[in-house]
Structure 1
Amino acid sequence: MHVHVNAATSVDGKLSSRRREQVMISGDDDFERVDRIRAASDAVLVGVGTVLADDPHLTLDAEELVAERAENGDSAHPARVVADSRARTPTDARILDDAATTYLLISEDAPEARRRELEAAGATLVVAGAERVSFPAAFEALEDVGVERLMVEGGGEVIFSLFDDDLVDELTLYVGSMVIGGRDAPTLADGDGFVSDFPRLSLRDVERVDDGVLLTYDC
């Protein structure tokens, strides 16, 4: 599986403010670029924190991209994947509508009652890991159902875990011309952080987009 992490941060590396509310960091040109990456993917992954904070739909915006997928024999929208160890996704979340298949990655510790509620709401559950989602095991399961290209849209805890498990193949990072600040504001890679064996990336391209810079790395 090819794992492509895409994110937008402020110049000081923040994904959003300390309130963890959605902040508009990039502009229209970058939104179109992100939509194209989604369209080329089999599935799009976010963490449950993103679902709880933003209630994203994770579907394509451009009708021409939907049409292109249909012409290629693909579903209208890529599948949606949520890393949700304790099955906290609300049953009325937008990602559980019938616009696309939605996989919830949960742990063995996820409450049985919540599992039943989420399945009834339309989710397909993937159990991987004892107390927390094991991404290597979960990704194997996703590959088994045909996910060959996975786009990851955050948040910082998920992105850190994927780097920690050495699962990231490509990173595109839009750096917007703004400062957010705050020691409690989420960053590109939260979690425990690295103290040695820091992941090293290879810079492939630099491009000006909107009023920011798009950095592309091989990982």
Structure 2
Amino acid sequence: MSTRPFVLLSVAVSIDGYIDDASAERLLLSNAADFDRVDQVRAESDAILIGAGTIRSDNPRLIVKSEVRQAQRTASGRPSTPLKITVTASGSLDPASNFWHHGTSEQPPVIYTTDDGAKKASTLLGDLAEVVSLGETVDFGAVLDDLGARAVGCLMVEGGSQILTEFLAAGLVDELQIAIGPTLVGDSAAPRFLNPATFPGGSTHRMRLLEVTSIGDVALLRYQPSKESSSD
């Protein structure tokens, strides 16, 4: 039986808990130094996962941006950018999105979806991606099982809200990295870090704090969700 990958969930939030505002332009909550840190984390990962909603709203390339880090990965026998993954129940994905056309020459992205979604995604994308059906619903544990079978040792999960919520609610996150930008959004129409859900241990469970780092005007918090903190 394969071992599931280590799951690192990475997110940038405003002080009041939003991951974006409601405008058409993406809100940059972090700073240049923290963006570079995230690029390093990407370079150290075997795969990166985002939800289909993030592909639609942000149109990201989702690659390792540093040419030096790309070269280091290639020199070690790995693809220049980690395996790119998305999850969608509907299979409704735009074949023109950047996600399918950057950092994919060495390995096509993988789509995890439902039986119905697989039919639609295969029709829309053709050979731009590998489509994996998980049955009638998307089970994130099954996603990790399949990635383990592909020898993915570390999975970086970058969002959006629904994906972040699903992973944390299912107790599948090994490390949570939260970069807190010095801004307030205050717009009820904007996406928050997490949606309402039932999380392991409930509201009294205190995650173990691993590290607090100042990166310019950004605070980086690293937590281990599965472990209780010490209140001593």
Normalised by the length of structure 2, the TM-score is 0.87
- Structure 1 distance, partners of 2:192, 2:136, is 26
* 1:118 paired residue number: 125
1:81 paired to 2:88: no
After TM superposition, list the pairs within 5 Å mapping 1:35-54 onto structure 2: 35-54=39-58
* 2:133 paired residue number: 127
Instruction: Please tell me whether the aligned partners of residues 13 and 19 of structure 2 are also in contact (alpha carbons under 8 angstroms).
Output: yes
* 2:228 paired residue number: none
Find the residue that maps to 1:26 and give its secondary structure.
coil
* 1:67 paired residue number: 71
* 2:172 paired residue number: 167
Runs of 4+ in 1 over 6 A off after TM superposition: none
- Structure 1 distance, partners of 2:78, 2:179, is 28
1:14 paired to 2:18: yes
Find the residue that maps to 1:153 and give its secondary structure.
strand
- Structure 2 distance, partners of 1:111, 1:39, is 29
Find the residue that maps to 1:105 and give its secondary structure.
strand
1:33 paired to 2:40: no
Q: 1:108 aligns with which of 96, 105, 115?
A: 115
* 1:154 paired residue number: 159
Q: Give how far 1:84 is off.
A: 1.1
Instruction: Please tell me whether the aligned partners of residues 181 and 218 of structure 2 are also in contact (alpha carbons under 8 angstroms).
Output: yes
Q: Give how far 1:52 is off.
A: 0.3
Q: Give how far 1:3 is off.
A: 0.3
* 1:92 paired residue number: 96
RMSD: 1.7
Letter in 2 for 1:107: T
Identity of counterpart residues, as a percentage?
A: 28
Q: Give how far 1:139 is off.
A: 1.4
Letter in 1 for 2:171: D
More displaced, 86-95 or 97-106? Answer: 97-106
Residues 24 and 98 from structure 1, CA distance in 2 versus in 1: closer, same or farther, beyond 3 angstroms? Answer: closer
Instruction: Please tell me whether the aligned partners of residues 127 and 138 of structure 1 are also in contact (alpha carbons under 8 angstroms).
Output: no
For structure 2, the 5+ residue unaligned runs are 226-232
- Structure 2 distance, partners of 1:105, 1:67, is 29
- Structure 1 distance, partners of 2:88, 2:163, is 10
Residues 149 and 196 from structure 1, CA distance in 2 versus in 1: closer, same or farther, beyond 3 angstroms? Answer: closer
* 2:229 paired residue number: none
For structure 1, the 5+ residue unaligned runs are none
- Structure 1 distance, partners of 2:27, 2:132, is 30
Find the residue that maps to 1:184 and give its secondary structure.
coil
Find the residue that maps to 2:151 and give its secondary structure.
coil
- Structure 2 distance, partners of 1:182, 1:162, is 25
Q: Give how far 1:19 is off.
A: 4.2
CA deviation digits over 1:115-169, x for unaligned, max 9? 222233x1111212413x1111111111112211000111111011001111000
Find the residue that maps to 1:81 and give its secondary structure.
strand
Normalised by the length of structure 1, the TM-score is 0.92
